[in-house]
Amino acid sequence: MHGPETNAVWRKTSRSNESGDNCVELAGFLNVVSFRDSKDPDGPKMLVSRRDFRRFAEALKSM
């Protein structure tokens, strides 16, 4: 993979369960946030702007 995710430091979200079934990992960069399924670290990753990710997280909190 090329791009900012190459040297990413991934961390599990606080909402991931302890059994490892539903784990989302995040990596933050200057202008974007990347997230992936921790069970498939070499699989697809999504990149979104920090602004859009913040809106997404705020929407989840209000649910």
The pLDDT assigned to 3 comes to 53
The pLDDT assigned to 18 comes to 65
The pLDDT assigned to 51 comes to 95
In Å, what is the CA distance from 19 to each residue of 1, 23, 35, 39, 53? 28, 9, 19, 11, 26
Question: pTM of whole model > 0.75?
Answer: no
In the chain, which residues have pLDDT < 50? 1-2
